A and B are shown apart, each in its own frame.
Chain A
Amino acid sequence: MRVGSRAAFLAGILTMLALGVDTSRLAAAHPGAALGGGAPWESAVQAGAAVGATAAGLALILNRRVTACGVLLALTGPAILLAQLPAPDAGSALLFTAALAGGSLAPFLAGSAALACPVAPMRRAGWTIIALGLAVAGVIRGLLPAAVFDPRAAGCFSCASNLAKVHSDPALATALQPWGLVLAIALGACLAAGAGWRLLRAPRIVALINAPLVLGGMAVSLLAAAAAAHTLQLSTPEIDPALRTCWLAQCCLIAVMAAGVAAGGLRARRLAGKITRAVLTAVPEPESLRAALAACIGDPDLALAFPRDDGTVIDAAGLQAGQADHGLAVVRVTRADAAVAEIRYREDLAGASHQLAAAVRAAGLAVEHVAARVRLRAELADLAASRQRIVELGDAERQRLERDLHDGAQQRLIALQMLLQRAAAAASPPVGADYAAARRAVGLALEELRDLAHGIHPAALSDGGLRAGLQTLAENSPVPLIIKDAGPRRQPAAAEAAAYRIVADTVSAAGQNSTWAAVTVTLSASEDVLRVRLNTAGLDPQAGELILAGTQDRVAALDGSITLASEGGQMIIEAAIPCAS
């Protein structure tokens, strides 16, 4: 609650307390003349109900924006005081008139508050019942009889004057009485039934949180109907013990409603405390924070979504999560006017949203932390994907270059060879040493071109797969390269290229190292991981480190790993390359 709201809340409660004490004093001075008064505990119950209802209503309005329900509950407090006022000796003409007109409102206001409680979306029928109930209590049983009632004519000379009187018509007042009572019975029942129906249709958690408010209001409405039925049977309009007991029961129930609202607030606050502790004791994973919020609001599918700077939205796992679906309520968590996160949950749980609001306030720091973490992870994933794309692009480019060399320059050199040959055959006198030198030069150019193309990208690797690539490598290898292949025929090109590069680097290191007698490569693949194991017959940790340094970036770009170990005079290089396509 903000400072202004807090002041308004306190002022409302203090006013109600003062009025309640004063009303109790007046009622106690004139026992039997009104519903109020009685034993001290009875006065205390009534004043407590009045203050509690107003306090709860104000709290709902100020804190949770549950406006209609809050307003009705807040108005129930003054209405209780009006009902308590002793009719003839209300103290002033204004109070007397107000008591005449509004004396029956309290139970209907409480019943309406129960019906308006936001456990489910409110239909027009609900508002109609509330309007009719307040009209019956306020007009047919309040203003209309007051307008034709003249206290002097009725023989009450000590009464204050009736400010609402239009003209005196005791007959009309008597005639209105049964109609008002019958309508009160009907609408009391309607209010109770409507509130009950809405409560049954609400999600369990929402029903649970609002049960005291709704059930209390339903009971108050039913008691109002019962009281009206009882009054209908009385021969003279008087306040008998049954009506007084009924009124006390209604006051108790209104106090229960107020207590229910207070308990809901306390519960939310306790939950907030719990979440705060959880946040302070453990840095939450996105999923555990999500689960905590989901448990708090009662929607297992509650989702966290995090907006990114580029306008996209990601979920807790870092995957793209579009806009919230229809039928989802969205709570935005902002920090310095920038959206940090969105909490998405079932719209029909909006009745529990004050709980969520409290939880989010408590978890604010955690939400922010998790949002930063999720965003960082998403960025890392983007980077990893980009690195892999760069490696793949590089491979594709090398392959294209290799093909261009073979299909372009090489073909032209071969054609040149043929032309030289034809020219020589047709020449007279016969060509000399220059011709032979030219042919040798073209031959050397062809050889170098082929080696160059092979170095840029081994065609056997892309055309025939890793095994074919390694066999070609074995044909050129300075040391025996023994291939043990248990892998499937083809793997994604990037994985094949990485595995080939590791073996090729090892073989070329072996060529420069006279202590390595042979290299054995074992290929295996399982669960979308290509495993390459290299055993070199001979140890040279420095060369091993160099091989690692030259290949680990490429392997890491594919989210793989490469390790170096030595075992019984052998060096072992092991690489695991994921190859899920």
Chain B
Amino acid sequence: MALLREGLARLLGDAGFNVAGAAGDLPGLLDLVDRTAPDAALIDIKMPPTHTDEGLQAASVIRQRYPGTAVLLLSSYLESRYASSLLEDHPASSGYLLKERVYDSAVLADALRRVCAGECVIDPGIVSRLLGRSRERGPLDELTEREVEILGMMAEGHSNSSICSRLVISPRTVESHVRSVFMKLGIAESPESSRRVLAVLAFLQA
């Protein structure tokens, strides 16, 4: 664990981030966040003492007590349940990334910047798995293929401009697709950012 922690700190340093500190357990982490008030905390979901989901609890506590600190949860499990329970309680400024993504500093840096910007980020692996799964008929079946694709990219944390550059379509087209997604999922008028999160949650839990 310490090996990974150190490697990660050096990697982030190389990528231009300022690493405020590293901690080995929940009290240490909370203490560190309290002292340094960082922009983001990168948390392993497994922590002492039980090594199950202490990281999830830590993320929840940090989002509650230190609204200025975004959280990015690292996990070994390609499962939606941790991501969805994280986003359910704290939809903004939180993310869930597979641990093995961290070797790619570009992916990690991108995810960190996006949670710091208040968005929610879900690992592309989980998104593609959810897109590919078999399930009962539900509201998601009302979406066109393109709309599902765009919803998946929203879940990964992409902004509208990022989506239009990836799909090579015009910003107006993306906006109309996004509006259509909100409407079909029954998400009422509310600020754009929270509607995006609600749409992603609907996607995770469908």
Contacts and interface: CB of A to CB of B under 8 A. Distances in A.
Contacts, number: 81
A421 B11 contact: yes
Contact of B136 (A411, A446, A450, A518): A518
Contact of A407 (B7, B51, B53, B77): B51
Interface residues on B, range: 20 to 34
Nearest to A446: B100
Contact of B81 (A407, A420, A468): A468
Contacts of A478: 134
A420 B105 CA distance: 12
A464 B136 CA distance: 23
Contacts of B105: 421
A480 B136 contact: yes
Interface in B73-122: 76-81, 99-100, 102-105
B195 interface: no
A431 interface: no
A436 B46 CA distance: 30
Interface in A417-476: 417-422, 425, 439, 443, 446, 450, 453, 459-460, 463-464, 468, 471-472, 474-476
The listed residue with most A CB atoms (<10 A of its CB), out of B1, B3, B51, B134, is B134
A533 to B, nearest CB: 17
Contacts of A475: 79-80, 129-130, 133
B11 A415 contact: no
Nearest to B134: A480
Given A414-B99, A460-B77, A477 B134 contact: yes
A412 to B, nearest CB: 8
Given A475-B130, A476-B133, A414 B4 contact: yes
Contacts of B11: 418, 421-422
B81 A471 contact: yes
B36 interface: no
Contacts of A482: 136
B189 interface: no
A480 B105 CA distance: 36
A129 interface: no
A373 interface: no
Interface in B140-194: none
Contacts of A443: 100
Interface string A193-212: 00000000000000000000
B118 to A, nearest CB: 27
A411 to B, nearest CB: 6
Nearest to B135: A480
A482 B206 CA distance: 11
A403 interface: yes
Contacts of A459: 77
Contacts of B134: 477-481, 518
A474 B79 contact: no
Interface string A466-503: 00100110111111111000000000000000000000
A410 interface: yes
B66 to A, nearest CB: 26
B24 to A, nearest CB: 14
A474 B46 contact: no
Nearest to B11: A418
A472 B8 contact: no
A460 B81 contact: yes
A30 interface: no
Contacts of B129: 475-476
A414 B77 contact: no
A406 interface: yes
Contacts of A453: 76
Contacts of B10: 422
B81 A450 contact: no
A414 B7 CA distance: 10
A378 B91 CA distance: 57
B50 to A, nearest CB: 9
Contacts of B104: 421
Given A403-B51, A414-B4, A479-B134, A472 B46 contact: no
A420 B104 CA distance: 10
A475 B129 CA distance: 7
A420 B53 CA distance: 29
A474 B135 contact: yes
Nearest to B3: A415
Contact of A415 (B4, B81, B133): B4
Interface in A115-143: none
Interface in B32-63: 46, 51-53
A128 B53 CA distance: 83
Contacts of A418: 4, 7-8, 11, 102-103
17 contacts: A406-B46, A406-B76, A407-B51, A414-B4, A414-B102, A417-B100, A418-B7, A439-B103, A443-B100, A450-B78, A460-B77, A463-B52, A464-B81, A474-B135, A480-B134, A480-B135, A481-B134
Interface of A: 403, 406-407, 410-415, 417-422, 425, 439, 443, 446, 450, 453, 459-460, 463-464, 468, 471-472, 474-482, 518
Given A415-B4, A460-B77, 11 more contacts: A403-B51, A411-B3, A414-B4, A418-B11, A418-B102, A421-B103, A421-B105, A446-B100, A463-B52, A471-B81, A478-B134
